Amino acid sequence: MLLAVDVGNTDTVFGLYEAGVWEHIWRVNSLAQESESHYASKLMLHFLEAGISFIEVKTVVLSSVVPALTPVIQKMLRSLFGDETIVVGPNTFPGLTIAIDHPHELGADLIANAVAVITRYKQNCVVVDFGTALTFTTVSRNGEILGVAILPGLVTAVKALFANTAQLPEVPLKLPVSAIGKNTVQSIQAGILLGYEGLVKSLITRIREEMGGDCIAVATGGLSSIIETLRDEFVEIDRKLTLDGLRIIGEKVGGKVKN
């Protein structure tokens, strides 16, 4: 059994993989002020409810984009599973080249996404990750991460608007029927969701042009299905893509856990 841990800015995701399927996926809030015992108790409860023993886990892979939480989660995993957690970084996966100026600045989740699409498609690909940040990671068929575009995610944009404007309410992320909002909620939905629809299409088009027109697109992230009108832009929408990349890294690198 393999445990993949993806520490994001909003949530930390734990995925248990065995016999070709993700048996369990759990989410907890990413809280930098909490200790390893807080996360250990959360994970222990999930394992207990699922009837799974820690000793059944043979490989642990960790991706983190929250530097303050990385050592906390590492310490928690070490206490529960042993010393050999695979921590994803720019040199973790054999055959992956990171062709950017400062490879250590690249988020581990984006590395995992790249590993997943390289393994699955073996084509030029842009991975659009709809998370706290909206990222576009361009990967070549030869296994190179060529670069990334980053902007605020949908929820981040809505919260920023809400926090900085006294009269605007926080609104649900629901695609409006019209770009001409008839009330405040519809106006924000039109601006954010339809605006992001155009933004995503425009960036994918620009990236494809720079790749000579030969580039597929794959979507992932918790909000990847929100803008339904974008579905035709992608060959696949896979919310488990990051976990699957971590799984592939774990299987390739090995890393038997000492119990």
pTM of the model: 0.91
**CATH number for domain 2-89+245-253, candidates 3.30.420.40, 3.50.50.60, 3.40.50.720, 3.30.1540.10:** 3.30.420.40
Instruction: Evaluate if residue 254 carries a pLDDT over 90.
Output: no
On whether the CB atoms of residues 13 and 240 are closer than 8 A, the answer is: no
Q: How many CB atoms lie within 10 A of CB 253?
A: 14
The percent of residues in the chain predicted with pLDDT above 70, rounded, is: 95
Which residues line the annotated binding site for substrate? 107-110, 184
Instruction: Evaluate if residue 256 carries a pLDDT over 50.
Output: no
CATH 3.30.420.40 residue spans of the chain: 2-89+245-253, 97-242
How sure is the predictor about 257, in pLDDT bands with cuts at 50, 70 and 90?
A: very low
* pLDDT tens sequence across 33-92: 999 999 999 999 999 999 999 999 999 999 999 999 999 999 999 999 987 899 999 999
Residues labelled catalytic: 109
On whether the CB atoms of residues 78 and 86 are closer than 8 A, the answer is: no
Instruction: Evaluate if residue 137 carries a pLDDT over 50.
Output: yes
CA 122, CA 115: separation in Å to the nearest integer? 10
Which residues line the annotated binding site for ATP? 6-13, 132
Map residue 2 onto helix, strand or coil.
Answer: strand
Map residue 159 onto helix, strand or coil.
Answer: helix
CA 237, CA 175: separation in Å to the nearest integer? 18
DSSP string, 202-216: HHHHHHHHHTTT--E
SS3 content of the chain, % helix, strand, coil (to 5): 40, 25, 35
CATH number of 97-242: 3.30.420.40
